[in-house]
C-alpha cells in the first residue's frame, strides 16, 4: 500500500503555534502549481509498479487552491500513477474557506475525505491561536459539508490552551460528538521555537503552557472518546468503528509514501527524502527540470528506533517478532531489557509478543519510546 502526500505551502495568516512550512503571500501560487506538476513528472517512476491507496493534500492550507488548480493537479496525478478506484483522497480545509460554492466544487472532484482544521469551537481559543475562522464558521462548515454528502470527515482539536478550563474542553468534545463526526485528531498545544507563541511566552505576553493542564485534558479526551464509541487507534487519533485514516495508518505502519511540494518528506523502503523548505528554491529548481531534495539512507539503528517510536503509539503496538525478523539479536536483547521496567509499572502491556501502551503509558509515550531507543 503506497501513498502520496502533497504539501500546499500557503496560508491566509499565520497561526501562532505553527512551525510548518508556509507562506502568507499568494504571489507564487501559480508558479507553485506548475512546479508541483513538474515534480510529479520527474518522480512518477517511484511508484511505477505500485498502486496508490491514499492521496493527501496537506499544508499550509490546501483549500486555498482554486478548482482549476486542483483539476490540473489531479489530471497529472491520474496520468502519472495508478490510483485505486477506492483510494482515500483527503484535502485539509479551513472552515472559513468552506463556502457553499467551494464545497460543491470539492464534491465534484476526486476528493472523498475532508480534514477540517477546527481546532476549537470557542472563539476565545481561536483568537488566542490567531485562526482565520470563528466558532460559528467552524460549526457551519461541518454541517454544510455533511449536507453536501461528505460523510468521511475528520476534524482537528487542540487542548491545553491557556484559559481553557476542563469544562470548556468537555464542551468542545460534546459539540464534536453532537455533530457525529467519524474521525477526530486531537493534540496538546505545543510551543515550538521561533513561532509567534514561543515569542509571546518569552516576552510574558501570554502564560506558559501547563503540562499538568494538558495531561488532565488528555485523560478527559480518552475517557470521553471511549464513552462516545470512538476507538483510540493512535495517541492523537480517534475514530468510529473501522474509520481509520489510511493516510495516518500508512505513516505509522511504515508503508511507502511519496512527498511532493516544498518541505514534503518521503519514505521509500530504507530511505527518507525531503524537499527544500523554500518556495523560491523549489520553484526555481523545477523550472530547470531539477529536483531540490536531500536523501538519508536509514541505518539498522535508525529503522529500529523509528519502528519503536511509531508502532508503540498505535493500537497495533510494537511486535517483538518484527524486531526479531528485521534486526540483529542485539536489538532484540536491548528492547526486552529496556521494556521490562515499563511492564512492571503498568505503563506497557504485553500480549503474545505485542507491546502496547496502557492509558497511563500514553501520557508518557515519548519518554517510553526514548528509553527504548538504541543509541550505541
Q: What is the pLDDT of residues 188-234, one digit of tens each?
A: 998 788 888 888 888 888 888 889 999 999 999 999 999 999 999 99
- H helices within the chain, ranges in order? 29-43, 67-80, 100-107, 123-129, 135-147, 166-178, 196-202, 211-227, 246-252, 279-287, 300-311, 320-326, 329-344, 359-362, 365-372
Confidence of residue 23 (pLDDT cuts 50, 70, 90): confident
Q: Exposure string (b/e) for 14-50, b if CB count within 10 Å is 16 or more?
A: ebbbbeebbbeeeebbebbbebbbbbbeebeebbeee
pLDDT at 105: 98
Cα–Cα distance for residue pair 59/8, rounded to 1 Å = 5
pLDDT greater than 90 at residue 182: yes
- pLDDT tens-digit map of 78-109: 999 999 999 999 999 999 999 999 999 999 99
Please, where in the chain does CATH 3.80.30.20 lie?
2-251
pLDDT greater than 90 at residue 253: no
pLDDT at 66: 97
Q: In sequence order, what are the beta bridge partners of 319?
A: 354
Beta-sheet strand order (sheet of 271-275): 231-234, 237-239, 183-188, 153-159, 113-119, 83-93, 52-59, 2-8, 257-260, 265-268, 271-275, 293-297
pLDDT greater than 90 at residue 321: yes
pLDDT at 154: 98
pLDDT at 293: 95
Confidence of residue 254 (pLDDT cuts 50, 70, 90): confident
Average pLDDT, the chain: 94
Residue 315, helix vs strand vs coil: coil
Share of the chain above pLDDT 70, in %: 100
pLDDT at 161: 93
Does domain 2-251 match CATH 3.90.800.10?
A: no
Q: What is the mean pLDDT of residues 287-308?
A: 96
pLDDT greater than 80 at residue 21: no
Q: Which of the 8 DSSP states describes residue 334?
A: H
| Rounded to 5°, angle at Cα 228 from 223 and 230 | 80
pLDDT at 13: 85
Q: In sequence order, what are the beta bridge partners of 41?
A: none
Q: What is the mean pLDDT of residues 261-280?
A: 95
- In the chain, count H helices and then E strands: 15, 15
Alpha-carbon torsion (245, 215, 346, 332), positive or negative:
positive
Q: What is the mean pLDDT of residues 338-367?
A: 97
pLDDT greater at residue 197 or residue 374: 374
pLDDT at 109: 98
Cα–Cα distance for residue pair 19/251, rounded to 1 Å = 20
Confidence of residue 137 (pLDDT cuts 50, 70, 90): very high
pLDDT at 157: 98
Can you say how many angstroms the Cα of residue 239 is from the centroid of all Cα atoms in its chain?
14
pLDDT greater than 90 at residue 40: yes
Please, where in the chain does CATH 1.10.10.920 lie?
299-376
Confidence of residue 354 (pLDDT cuts 50, 70, 90): very high
* CB distance 119 to 91 below 8 Å: no
Count the alpha carbons within 13 Å of 15 in the hemisphere toward its beta carbon: 26
Cα–Cα distance for residue pair 248/375, rounded to 1 Å = 27
pLDDT at 195: 82
Cα–Cα distance for residue pair 236/157, rounded to 1 Å = 10
Share of the chain above pLDDT 90, in %: 85
Cα–Cα distance for residue pair 155/116, rounded to 1 Å = 5
- Please provide the distance, in angstroms rounded to a whole number, between the alpha carbons at the two ends of the chain: 33
C-alpha cell at 216: 488532565
- From the list 263, 270, 272, 298, the residue with the least C-alpha distance to 39 is 263
C-alpha cell at 24: 502568507
In CATH terms, the fold of domain 299-376 is Arc Repressor Mutant, subunit A (1.10.10)
> What does pTM read for this prediction?
0.94
pLDDT greater than 80 at residue 14: no
pLDDT at 209: 83
pLDDT at 22: 75
pLDDT at 210: 87
pLDDT greater than 80 at residue 20: no
Confidence of residue 342 (pLDDT cuts 50, 70, 90): very high
Q: What is the mean pLDDT of residues 246-254?
A: 88
Amino acid at each position: 500500500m503506497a501513498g502520496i502526500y502533497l504539501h500546499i505551502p500557503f496560508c491566509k495568516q499565520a497561526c501562532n503555534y505553527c512551525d510548518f512550512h508556509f507562506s502568507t503571500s499568494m504571489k507564487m501560487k501559480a508558479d507553485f502549481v506548475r512546479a508541483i506538476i513538474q515534480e510529479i513528472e520527474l518522480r512518477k517512476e517511484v511508484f511505477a509498479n505500485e498502486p496508490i491507496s491514499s492521496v493527501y493534500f496537506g499544508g499550509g492550507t490546501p483549500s486555498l487552491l482554486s478548482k482549476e488548480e486542483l483539476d490540473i493537479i489531479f489530471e497529472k496525478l491520474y496520468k502519472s500513477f495508478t490510483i485505486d478506484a477506492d483510494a482515500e483522497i483527503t484535502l485539509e480545509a479551513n472552515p472559513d474557506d468552506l463556502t457553499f460554492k467551494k464545497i460543491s466544487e470539492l464534491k465534484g472532484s476526486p476528493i472523498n475525505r475532508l480534514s477540517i482544521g477546527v481546532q476549537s469551537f470557542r472563539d476565545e481559543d481561536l483568537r488566542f491561536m490567531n485562526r482565520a475562522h470563528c466558532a460559528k464558521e467552524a460549526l457551519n462548515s461541518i454541517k454544510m459539508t455533511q449536507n453536501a454528502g461528505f460523510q468521511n470527515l475528520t476534524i482537528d482539536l487542540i487542548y491545553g490552551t491557556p484559559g481553557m478550563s476542563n469544562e470548556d474542553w468537555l464542551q468542545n468534545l460534546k459539540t464534536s460528538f453532537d455533530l457525529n463526526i467519524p474521525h477526530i485528531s486531537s493534540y496538546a498545544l505545543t510551543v515550538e521555537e521561533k513561532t509567534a507563541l514561543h515569542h509571546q511566552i518569552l516576552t510574558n505576553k501570554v502564560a506558559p503552557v501547563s503540562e499538568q493542564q494538558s495531561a488532565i485534558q488528555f485523560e478527559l479526551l480518552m475517557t470521553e472518546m471511549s464513552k462516545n464509541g470512538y476507538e483510540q487507534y493512535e495517541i492523537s487519533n480517534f475514530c468510529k468503528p473501522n474509520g481509520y485514516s489510511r493516510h495516518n495508518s500508512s505513516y505509522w505502519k511504515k508503508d511507502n509514501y511519496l512527498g511532493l511540494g516544498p518541505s514534503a518528506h518521503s519514505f521509500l523502503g530504507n530511505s527518507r527524502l525531503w524537499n527544500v523548505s523554500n518556495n523560491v528554491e523549489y520553484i526555481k529548481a523545477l523550472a530547470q527540470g531539477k529536483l531540490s531534495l536531500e536523501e538519508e539512507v536509514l541505518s539498522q539503528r535508525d529503522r529500529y528506533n523509528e519502528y519503536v517510536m511509531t508502532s508503540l503509539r498505535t493500537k497495533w503496538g510494537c511486535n517483538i517478532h518484527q524486531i526479531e525478523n528485521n534486526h540483529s539479536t542485539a536489538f532484540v536483547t536491548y528492547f526486552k531489557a529496556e521494556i521490562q521496567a515499563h511492564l512492571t509499572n503498568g505503563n506497557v502491556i504485553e500480549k503474545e509478543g505485542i507491546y502496547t501502551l496502557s492509558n497511563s503509558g500514553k501520557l508518557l509515550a515519548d519518554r517510553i519510546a526514548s528509553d527504548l531507543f538504541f543509541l550505541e
